[in-house]
Structure 1
């Protein structure tokens, strides 16, 4: 028996083209002049990061950062649709982070904005996203949102999106145990797709098969499932394919075609493992073991169950595996090995479990153990529980299984009159499922499906035969051409000899020209070497000039008595030294285009510590990645470091020792610089935007020059954070 609990989602496979587009878009964002297009590209890349396979924090952080940048531009340009989409994306990101409450509020806020601006497409997308957050608690609200989305899509003429919305409604109603309503919406989705010439129905066919099987309509269910299998093979959708193959195996199992059942179950396990679908592997392993158990292959079933146990949830009351172990060990007459699992189920049966089918299987396994170990009288307790569950799982298969088990329990207890009546009921229900005509229909249905496959194979073989005939004819033509070619070759050889003599003369001329080219190349190489020397000389002289200016300022400070003027000169000296370090590094190394920031930050920190900290009361803790930046980014970053470290040393620790932490690392497509101290912090009501401090304004301006973000906060000290994107290094 199978039940599939779906969560309605829209799966967006990321193609190779999308990956290439993402790389190109990211590299061009900084140079994009059209602000509207830049906002759209930022939004697209944010969605791409969110939709990447897996749930990685770095992808969510990148999506959030890109989305904030897009929203900022969109608000400046009043791009209403972009604003609505960014607001909705914030909700999706919160959902992926596991904050369902915040996600709901953000999505509702996006919907309210779209309604206020009369953005129907964005309204539909917001309704869809809210409706898909179905957790089983409020079916009416979620389906109501999806119906509103479907109505808007129809009004906009977006019929494909309307069909997908109905498919999601079908999935939700299936998970809510309402097969009739689920069938209605799946059929509606198929009708719309047919009207727009869209022939990909595998998800809708799968939903129809799932629900029809629950209703006991196995003939029609198998027909739709096999039809979906043909479509899904071409579509190569592995997620849905696993569900479908498992479903077909289950239908065959319930029809007692156990060989076909196990064949499909094993195929489904392979697909689930390829997709790293742990829950799928567990579910299909259980179905496979039941199929082998029904065929009496207990040892093979036990081996598969043991192999699949490593994928099972680490939960004491995961009752499906213990139930199967009881059935198998009882059939193998290893009752002592079955006993611990029975005792485990006794404890778990006292707890609430909403998985009715798993609970039902648990009771059947416990009854089986009691019958096998001579405790048949105790089985009536679980017969009563199964009767209660039969009201929920009311289909022919479940009812027939209950009657058969009741017959076995009555027989074991000597209640032969009641046992005979239950046996009659079982036969009647079983015959209604497996009558002769129905069995023939299933066989005909399978024959039709296999015949269609054979027809396709015949067509393929015919095509191969035609290709073989063409190949033979081609080989004959090639043979004749080869003979003719030999004759022509003799003629050509004579011509080649005459050409050889001419070629020797030509080669002599070419060698002379090559020597001339080599001479020019050597001259060009000398020019390149001279250029590199000149660039190094320029950096050397710039560094020397900065040192001269620093010395002049130092001399000037000796004639000043004004403390503010002296501090201003000292600050200027430190800023010039920060720039001087960069030029010093450039002329000392062969790399003229970039600076090793790990080396630079260590040198700058050591210089500032020597300048201010005579008593060695301040410690530096550096966590620096090996990152290369070009001069255009290294200079403003160095000036920011100079201001932040100088302020921390001068103001953060008036009376006690302290620690300054500096972090510089690469995260995804951007860099993070954080300077943090454990000093006295900022004054109350401090606002960086309103500060008239030169240093603060300088840091904010330099952060903008880096096309990055600047933030400062006070929490047991001061934390300054700079986020920016790396530019391409140029010489």
Structure 2
């Protein structure tokens, strides 16, 4: 079955095991029981509702075929209606491929409605219309037609052909189905060991696919039948329970009826007659829901056999006569019809009606001979031998192909190894050249780094000389205002010198770690003003590296703010604290300098000559930043610099 990924086709009903229809831009149509089996029992209703708004004609054909084929597990008449509608639309579109697909589905349904001739006609008409690699379902159902007719040799032959096609096209699903059909046919022939072998092969292939579908479910049933015949009842029960679990999950009424019939036989073998009665009743319930006379007939047969076992021969006769009535004279499956007359013979014998028992047994014997006559037995044996030989030849061919592949692989590996050695040799030579070049570059880089550090060292030394000259000049000035100006200038020079000192002393020649820089700068300014004992500088921030073009102006700004705070925020030797922090946030640098001093004048201007304020303004504009003042419990100055413009 296939499931549509189609935009807004329908609403998903609550309680589904998985969504069947989903929105998808490419409108991909996924195959259920091929791509996935994560669906609940309502998936056919959901699929049917999708037809109401379906405009894509090819997509309609896909959905109609899926509805037709998978409804045959629940309602044969409804199934056939969908198939006939789809076949009519395919003919109108002159779509030969979909005409063939619908004829295969039609054959599968007609087969289960016991219209065997019509089923064969539909299936044979589909031949040549669908690709051979997709023909496994066609041949599977054609084999069922001959099996129902009692022609097991022909059914066996078709199953063998189906297996051969599947192997040619490396179709794992087709191989699994062929093995499953052969397992069922071997069981009917009484070759239970062989039937079990092929059934387990089929299950192994189904499990590798990872999809629990209708045919996987049926194969559990077939394996269970063979295990019952071999007397391995506990194992058979496990396989039947697995079949029931899948059947109930997806609503596979046909398989459920089939498996409950087998469970009734199993419980009779175990003398668990209550469970046998319950299983037979369940089989009849699902057969009636399906309206399948074949399954109804077999359910009555199971009930009749149970009553025979219990010695209730009148009840047995009632069930068995109804079983034969449902089968009618044109009933195709002589295998089960023979079993019905055998059970009927036993019922008459139990009642003491020997003439009727004898007549029923004669019919049983006649039907048995039609199914298992000497000619059919010889043909089956010959077909089995041919298939075994073909399988062995296929195995030999596969082994030979593997040997050829190994030889080819060995040659390829040798060539690859030679190419690899050559490539490694070339790489080694390149590596040696690269190593030599890298060593040269490393040497040059070290020389450049040394020269760069030396430059920063000399700049720092020059800054220190200027600072010292300013200090000497300050000592000769008696005017306090001029002396303060000289001290401030000395601090500014020192703040820039610290930048170069950090560069030549640090490992990173391109950036300065600002937290360490702020602490060193603050300590120097405190010592300059002799305020180390009463003023504490806090620098609460994470390590942050800045390039020299941003570090110098920011360092000067902080120097001015520290100087201003020490001069005016803490008069009369007051004790206080100054906080410095900086961080990156949203593409900006956020700088904060705050003190807990007496605050600024009411006009919001920094005290002093005004040069420091002008300098801060100029540096802020250079960095394309913004400054904010807050005067609460001291003075707080905030700066925001855009990183992308701060170079």
**TM-score normalised per structure 1:** 0.48
TM-fit CA distance, 1:538 = 9.7
Residue 266 of structure 1: SS of its match in structure 2? helix
Task: State whether residues 266 and 276 of structure 2, in contact with CA within 8 Å, keep that contact through their aligned partners in structure 1.
Answer: no
Residue 248 of structure 2: SS of its match in structure 1? coil
Residue 277 of structure 1: SS of its match in structure 2? coil
* Matched residue, 1:510: 441
Task: State whether residues 319 and 358 of structure 1, in contact with CA within 8 Å, keep that contact through their aligned partners in structure 2.
Answer: yes
Task: State whether residues 6 and 21 of structure 2, in contact with CA within 8 Å, keep that contact through their aligned partners in structure 1.
Answer: no
C-alpha change, 1:192 and 1:513, in structure 2 (3 Å) is farther
* Matched residue, 2:116: 179
Residue 150 of structure 2: SS of its match in structure 1? coil
Is 1:291 aligned with 2:226?
Answer: yes
Residue 332 of structure 2: SS of its match in structure 1? coil
* Matched residue, 1:204: 138
Residue 60 of structure 1: SS of its match in structure 2? coil
Q: Encode CA deviations 1:157-199: one digit per residue, 9 max, x unaligned.
A: x6444443443443444455433333333323322347xxx55
Task: State whether residues 342 and 364 of structure 2, in contact with CA within 8 Å, keep that contact through their aligned partners in structure 1.
Answer: yes
Distance 1:471 1:133 in 2: 48
Residues 159-308 of structure 1 correspond to what in structure 2 (within 5 A)?
Answer: 159-174=96-111, 176-193=113-130, 200-233=134-167, 235=169, 242-272=176-206, 275-277=210-212, 282-302=217-237, 304-305=239-240
Distance 2:352 2:548 in 1: 105
Is 1:103 aligned with 2:42?
Answer: no
TM-fit CA distance, 1:506 = 4.4
C-alpha change, 1:474 and 1:202, in structure 2 (3 Å) is closer
C-alpha change, 1:140 and 1:170, in structure 2 (3 Å) is closer
Is 1:414 aligned with 2:349?
Answer: no
Q: Encode CA deviations 1:315-347: one digit per residue, 9 max, x unaligned.
A: 9x9666664444334334x3xx32354267569
Is 1:436 aligned with 2:374?
Answer: yes
Task: State whether residues 327 and 337 of structure 2, in contact with CA within 8 Å, keep that contact through their aligned partners in structure 1.
Answer: yes
**Could you list the runs of 5+ residues in structure 2 that have no partner in the other structure?**
28-41, 450-506, 513-544, 551-582, 592-638
* Matched residue, 1:382: 319
TM-fit CA distance, 1:510 = 3.1
Q: Encode CA deviations 1:516-544: one digit per residue, 9 max, x unaligned.
A: 79989989x968998x959633999xxxx
Distance 1:185 1:260 in 2: 32
Residue 420 of structure 1: SS of its match in structure 2? helix
* Matched residue, 2:612: none
Distance 1:467 1:347 in 2: 54
Q: Encode CA deviations 1:380-406: one digit per residue, 9 max, x unaligned.
A: 111111112212843221221122112
Distance 1:130 1:445 in 2: 38
TM-fit CA distance, 1:249 = 1.9
C-alpha change, 1:238 and 1:212, in structure 2 (3 Å) is same
C-alpha change, 1:255 and 1:174, in structure 2 (3 Å) is same
C-alpha change, 1:394 and 1:105, in structure 2 (3 Å) is same
Task: State whether residues 180 and 198 of structure 2, in contact with CA within 8 Å, keep that contact through their aligned partners in structure 1.
Answer: yes
What is the number of equivalent residue pairs in this alignment? 434
Task: State whether residues 124 and 149 of structure 1, in contact with CA within 8 Å, keep that contact through their aligned partners in structure 2.
Answer: no
* Matched residue, 1:629: none
Q: Encode CA deviations 1:672-699: one digit per residue, 9 max, x unaligned.
A: xxxxxxxxxxxxxxxxxxxxxxxxxxxx
Distance 2:548 2:326 in 1: 86
Match of 1:373 among 310, 319, 325: 310
Is 1:338 aligned with 2:273?
Answer: yes
Residue 587 of structure 2: SS of its match in structure 1? helix
* Matched residue, 2:479: none
Task: State whether residues 219 and 441 of structure 1, in contact with CA within 8 Å, keep that contact through their aligned partners in structure 2.
Answer: yes
C-alpha change, 1:244 and 1:453, in structure 2 (3 Å) is closer
Task: State whether residues 131 and 141 of structure 1, in contact with CA within 8 Å, keep that contact through their aligned partners in structure 2.
Answer: no
* Matched residue, 2:588: 537
Distance 1:379 1:528 in 2: 105
C-alpha change, 1:519 and 1:58, in structure 2 (3 Å) is farther
TM-fit CA distance, 1:206 = 1.9
Residue 203 of structure 1: SS of its match in structure 2? helix
Is 1:396 aligned with 2:396?
Answer: no
TM-fit CA distance, 1:509 = 0.8
C-alpha change, 1:537 and 1:329, in structure 2 (3 Å) is closer
Distance 1:405 1:458 in 2: 47
Residue 313 of structure 1: SS of its match in structure 2? helix
